[in-house]
Amino acid sequence: MRRRAGAALLIAPLLLFLLLTFVAPIGAFLWRAASDHEVGPVLPRTVAALATWDGTTVPGEDTFAALVADLREARARDRETGAGLIPRAAARLNSDRPGFRGLLPATARRAEAPFEGSARDALLAISEEWSQVETWGAIRRAGGPLSSFHLLTALDLRQDAAGGISAAPPDEAVFRAVLLRSLWISLLVTAVCLALGWPLAWLIATAGGRASTLLLGAVMLPFWISLVVRTAAWMVLLQREGVVNAALKGAGLIETPLPLMLNRFAVVLAMVHILLPFMVLPLVATFRALDPRLPRAAASLGAAPWRAFLRVTLPLCLPGVGAGCLLVFIQALGFYVTPALLGGPNDQMLAWFVGFYATRSVNWGLAAALSLVLLVAVGLCVAVYGRLAGFRRPGAA
Amino acid sequence: MGRAILWAAGVLVAIFLLAPIVAIVPLSFSAGSFLFYPLPGLSLRWYQDFFSSDFWLPALWNSLGIGAAAAVVATALGTPAAFGLWRAGGALRSVAMGIVLAPMVVPVIVVAVALLLAFGPIGLVATHAGLVIAHAALGAPFVVVTVLASLEGFDPVQLRAAAACGAGPLRAFFRVCLPQIAPGVAAGAVFAFATSLDEVVVALFISGPAQRTLPRQMFSGLNDQISLTTAAAAGMLVAFSVLLLLAVTWLQARGRRRAGG
């Protein structure tokens, strides 16, 4: 019992540190995927009025009046504190329904002056948009505090004002393609790593002596060199005025430089180079643990070499092969730097879109939803890895 | 025959692994200003440029300082935790292990964006402290894994012997256990330092102009026209990596010798 408590006490500082600097920030960030805070606090009356709305016809006068009251109050607060509540709410609504970025501030500006008659007539005079059901639907979807909007967007789905879920229009549906592209690039990189890593690992495991050490060094050295440096090296090799094009031109093989960079080929090539050690090292460990007498026994029992390989060697290696493949695949899925530098616009993976929506378009909800998709994919792989390799020897790789 | 094909394939793959590095390092010693061969001559001008540049030199000091601080924090937290995990069993061990190893598998872009969001309100974005904390969290799992591996070769009976001789648990750890696992702890610290030295995505998102690290400057240098000074910076990072690899290899060999004898 005392030993248990002592052990817990020793682990506690690191756990606390990681809880504060890792688990909590990621949790808070991912929570944004399922919540909405930009519109609810700015338009509280409107959101409350829309709560009972059926979403099939334009809402009644009380909802229009609520919007006018909300906008007047928010505009007064914005002017007083410079908080920019209306532009932020407009940006969030714009990501659901294009046009809102201009519509909301314009409406707030013009609805501030007192008007005669109903709020409905006044708003419709400002913009016909307020007679559209989906304009109000966007406000309701963004009302929060819980929201399915970002997650649905990340899966190329959308919900209409009445609550029905359908596929997003083709010109907005990009994220399924991005997910498939990320999975495909990762799969391709894993397959190439396996094909290239197998012979090298086999050689390291069986050559023995100095050759083994040298070959292992050839794997360990790039393994230790910074990812940015390795990506830079590929850029120097592959760019228009790069080493490869200059050499080919010098040899008289080509007239004009080949487009070797900013395409899928360059991304896959550099990713294979960067991730290959993660395949080779587990394979070497597996091959070294292999009992060389077993294939020999199979041969002495009359199995042809290919048969001995397929029935004896391969099944014994499968756990190690699986572990290496998953290790490569998991890391490939999250790649950011290499595709950003070596790829074209159609080679960017999920990670790039997470970064884009978090910083350049400040759409934290969508960035979080895409991160969640990425983490679910990684989590599934880790679960399979746990099954295959067990978590007992995490340092084996 | 089969053996010859295997050798050819294996050696070709090894060449593929080394070629880009072998290609970029000599370019940084070029006397000319082109990024291809043949070199017009050899010179150190791009390294001179590196060391006199206020784009690169502050980044070098930032990288070394932030890496060292992150390694100290990660080692100070990771070593006791590894010892605790080694002593603990059952559910505590598996849950704690899951949390400790999470930074190794969570895509670093998620960490970067989450920290940008979390550090903003508490004033840690664009500070050295913020980057040190982030890099320490990313490096700590490597310390834990390395120290745990070196504890595999430590016989726990020695701790009971120390206790029987009247040493308290703390004294037993510092006087009996720590000297034997010291190479592992040092290797863990080197891993944590290397993690910070290589890290670019978190640095890209949460650092300000005063915290630019070497990989981060390289990343922005690569987005424009690549200069030979960038190649010199790459050469510097390669040199650091080789030194760190040698350090870890030496430490691990020492650790094995200790465990063996």
**Domain CATH number, residue A369:** 1.10.3720.10
Which of B18, B104, B106 best probes binding to A when mutated, by most A CB atoms within 10 angstroms? B106
Tell me how many degrees the CA angle A377-A382-A388 measures, rounded to the nearest 5.
130
Show which of A141, A167, A193 is a domain's final residue: A141
Helix (H, G, I), strand (E, B) or coil at B242: helix
Residues A197 and A326 in one domain: yes
CA distance B133 to A250: 50
What distance, in Å, lies between the first and last C-alpha atoms of chain B? 43
Higher pLDDT, A273 or B159: A273
pLDDT band (50, 70, 90) for residue B129: very high
Task: Please list the helix, strand and coil fractions of chain A in percent, rounded to the nearest 5, in that order.
Answer: 75, 0, 25
Most confident of the ranges A12-26, A52-66, A136-150, B40-54: A12-26
Residues 207-246 of chain A whose Cβ lies under 8 A from any Cβ of chain B:
215, 218-222, 224-237, 239, 241-243, 245-246
Show which of A126, A141, A156 is a domain's final residue: A141
pLDDT score at B155: 87
pLDDT digits (tens, 9 = 90+) for A246-289: 889 888 888 888 899 899 999 999 999 999 999 999 999 999 98
| Residue B171, pLDDT above cutoff 50 | yes
Q: Which CATH architecture has domain B63-214+234-260?
A: Orthogonal Bundle (1.10)
Alpha helix (H) ranges present in A24-143?
24-31, 44-50, 61-81, 85-96, 100-111, 119-126, 133-141
pLDDT digits (tens, 9 = 90+) for B172-226: 888 888 888 999 999 999 999 999 999 999 999 999 999 999 999 999 888 877 8
CA distance B248 to B251: 5
Residues 35-94 of chain A whose Cβ lies under 8 A from any Cβ of chain B:
none
Mean pLDDT of chain B: 91
The total domain count for chain A is 2
Residues A213 and A361 in one domain: yes
Residues A305 and A232 in one domain: yes
Q: What is the pTM of this model?
A: 0.91
Q: Which residue has the tokens 């061990």?
A: B93
Residues 231-250 of chain B whose Cβ lies under 8 A from any Cβ of chain A:
231, 234, 237-238, 241-242, 244-245
User: Is A200 touching B (CB cutoff 8 A)?
Assistant: yes
- Collect contacts of B162-165 with beta carbons under 8 A, ≥24 apart: none
pLDDT digits (tens, 9 = 90+) for A152-195: 999 999 888 888 888 888 888 889 999 999 999 999 999 999 99
| Residue A395, pLDDT above cutoff 60 | no
Range in A325-329, B26-30, B38-42, B75-79 the model is least confident about: B38-42
Residues A195 and A132 in one domain: no
Domain that holds residue A65: 44-141
Residues facing B42 on adjacent strands: B30
Residues A95 and A185 in one domain: no
Cα B258 from chain centroid (whole Å): 24
Residues A200 and A281 in one domain: yes
Residues A234 and A330 in one domain: yes
Residues A68 and A206 in one domain: no
Q: CA of A334: how far to CAs of A352, A378, B226, in Å?
A: 9, 8, 25
Range in A311-315, A366-370, B51-55, B235-239 the model is least confident about: A311-315
Residues A193 and A293 in one domain: yes
| Residue A392, pLDDT above cutoff 80 | no
Identity of the amino acid at A371: S
CA distance B22 to A273: 14
- A25 belongs to a structural domain: no
pLDDT score at A393: 44
pLDDT score at A297: 86
Percentage, residues of chain A above pLDDT 90: 56
Residues A136 and A188 in one domain: no
- A4 belongs to a structural domain: no
Residues A134 and A220 in one domain: no
pLDDT digits (tens, 9 = 90+) for A91-100: 999 989 988 9
Residues A342 and A252 in one domain: yes
Q: Are B255 and B153 in contact (CB under 8 A)?
A: yes
Nearest CB partner across the interface for A29, out of B103, B117, B245: B117
pLDDT score at A241: 84
